[in-house]
Amino acid sequence: MKKVLLSFVFVLFSLVSFAQGTWAIDPMHSSVNFNIKHMGISFVQGRFDKFSGTVTTKSSNLENAAFDVTVESETVNTGVEMRDKHLKGDDFFAAGTYPSILLGGATISKDKNGLYMLKAKLTIKDVQKEVLVPVTFGGITKNKDGKEVMGLQAKFTINRLDYNIKYDPTGTGIAKDVDVSVYLELVKQ
């Protein structure tokens, strides 16, 4: 009986320590993407090529985790050089003045459907606003090198006008709402 109890305690301790700690974004297996309606009839998709960040967990799941993500606005990429240059300029991200887009959050909870809801502060340009971000926890495993990795996915929508991105304020040519999709693989540090 004592061996069974010790085995149970060891397994429980292993599961808890398996996930808790600091996890760094693996940029080779992650992406930060956006999608915005153009002229009311089509969509422009893009991404940011450079980003970094951590998630600090306190248990074997995301409850009470802290998020700290930095996206380099200068790396916006839609595949069209002229459009990317415009997006980096003052009409949009003003990347020379505001080189980073920040997402930080310390409040995350699980809803009745098992989806995590991250209450975070999103900073774009000179505006910081609270956003509610649904986060899907993909799980934890070990990679080919034996390192622990965690998968997360988040999809949410923001109104670009809320962040002083005022080009075409009517939303006729470029929609006001921007769909953001983030896919993260993080490696335990």
Q: What is the mean pLDDT of residues 164-188?
A: 97
| Lookup: tokens for 15 | 């599961």
| Helix, strand, coil percent values for the chain (each to nearest 5) | 20, 50, 30
User: Distance between CA atoms of 110 and 116, rounded to whole angstroms?
Assistant: 4
pLDDT for 63 equals: 87
Which of 30-34, 54-58, 103-107 shows the lowest per-residue confidence on average (mean pLDDT)? 103-107
Average pLDDT value over all residues in the chain: 90
- Length of the chain in terms of residues written: 189
pLDDT above 90: percentage of residues in the chain: 80
Q: Residue 180: name the closest of 84, 45, 77 by CA.
A: 45
Query: Model confidence at 115, in pLDDT bands (50, 70, 90)?
Result: confident
Query: Is 50 exceeded by the pLDDT of residue 12?
Result: no
User: Distance between CA atoms of 149 and 28, rounded to whole angstroms?
Assistant: 13
Query: Is 80 exceeded by the pLDDT of residue 13?
Result: no
Query: Is 80 exceeded by the pLDDT of residue 42?
Result: yes
The contacts of residue 29 (CB under 8 Å, 6+ apart) are 185
pLDDT for 59 equals: 79
Domains and CATH numbers, the chain: 2-188 (2.40.128.110)
- Residue 168 contacts residue 128 (beta carbons within 8 Å): no
Query: Model confidence at 19, in pLDDT bands (50, 70, 90)?
Result: low
Query: Model confidence at 10, in pLDDT bands (50, 70, 90)?
Result: very low
